[in-house]
Amino acid sequence: MKITRIIADFWDKTSDAWRAIWGPHIHHGYYEDNHLLTPLEAQENLIEKLVQHLKLNPQKKILDVGCGMGGSSLYLAKNHNAIVTGITLSKRQVSIAMQQSQAENIPNVTFQIDDALTLSQFANNSFDIVWSLESCEQFYDKNAFITQAFRVLKPGGQLMLATWCSDRDQYEGDLALQYKKLCLVFDLPYMPTIEAYQRALEAVDFELDHVFDWSSHVKKTWDVGISLLNAFSFLKLVRMIGWRAFRASKQIQLMRNAFHQERVKYGVFLATKPIYIPTLKR
């Protein structure tokens, strides 16, 4: 599918640059009042905040969907002794993640190419946790992903979905133009609301354990992102990512404004696949 190729191509060509700018994790940080955190500390703080709501014991099998360069996968394998499989559309991201796992000698993590909308390489009931940290934004069929996540989870398994959300179902006028611009520069097919995600999860029989709006805790990430980007000269950015340097600067500023104006929310969903699924509903 064309949009899948576009996303894979984008990350193949820009992952090294984003790693240089953002570090090993390409996701928000979780900032708390009166806590001075480096960007890396804030990002790992976000992971730990999410882990607190999971039944994450050693040797649990985790599928990290949209694993990027393996930041979360490596962290969960190393710090929580989980058995992690990370998937992405990008060959370059798989290469970076595998090199990092070898460099850190983390044997309980693997990386491979697969599509989040099919999870074609995985059998039913095979994972304890499906982890989707800021990857669902680029999925053109979010319901398909949710259905596949349900399928590959073991009964009693958990889905962790953290994603950017719209603040309303429809926009008009200038707000509609701003929404379209935001989706365009980030290659986002669309951004559902937190409530829409809740309905989608319940529609496939997930039991919702927790739903959070962490916008106030993560929005500082975009202020930090502007500072990180400004540490590089524009010519260096052009050498790293070519014409996308123009886009990168625009991306960060647009998303910063959207979070601060509360047009974008940070939704976190923890859901469980029931141990018993009524046969009449399936």
- Which of the two residues, 184 and 157, has the higher pLDDT score? 157
- Which of the two residues, 55 and 131, has the higher pLDDT score? 131
Q: Provide the residue ranges of all domains of the chain, joining segments of one domain with +.
A: 2-272
What is the CA angle 64-204-133, rounded to 5? 25
Q: Is the pLDDT of residue 282 over 50?
A: no
In this structure, what token pair is assigned to residue 58? 């050693």
Give the whole-angstrom CA distance, residue 61 versus residue 73: 11
Beta strands (DSSP E) in 48-115 are: 61-65, 83-88, 109-113
Concatenate the DSSP letters of all residues of 223-279 into one string.
HHHHHHHHTS-HHHHHHHHTTHHHHHHHHHHHHHHHHHTTSEEEEEEEEE--SS--G
Q: What is the mean pLDDT of residues 255-265?
A: 95
Confidence class of residue 228 from pLDDT cuts 50, 70 and 90?
Answer: confident
Give the whole-angstrom CA distance, residue 73 versus residue 109: 7
Q: Is the pLDDT of residue 280 over 50?
A: no
pLDDT at 75 (0 to 100): 98
In this structure, what token pair is assigned to residue 18? 């984003």
Residue identified by tokens 């074609």 is 120
Give the whole-angstrom CA distance, residue 49 versus residue 188: 26
Nearest C-alpha neighbor of 159 from the set 127, 198, 129: 129
Give the whole-angstrom CA distance, residue 247 versus residue 251: 6
Query: So what CATH class is 2-272?
Result: alpha beta
Proportion of the chain in helix, strand, coil states, percent, rounded to 5? 50, 20, 30
Alpha helices in 119-159 (DSSP H): 142-152
| Identity of the amino acid at 188 | L
Q: Is the pLDDT of residue 34 over 90?
A: no
Nearest C-alpha neighbor of 42 from the set 22, 56, 17: 22
Q: Over the stretch 103-152, which tens digit does the pLDDT of each residue have?
A: 999 999 999 999 999 999 999 999 999 999 999 999 999 999 999 999 99
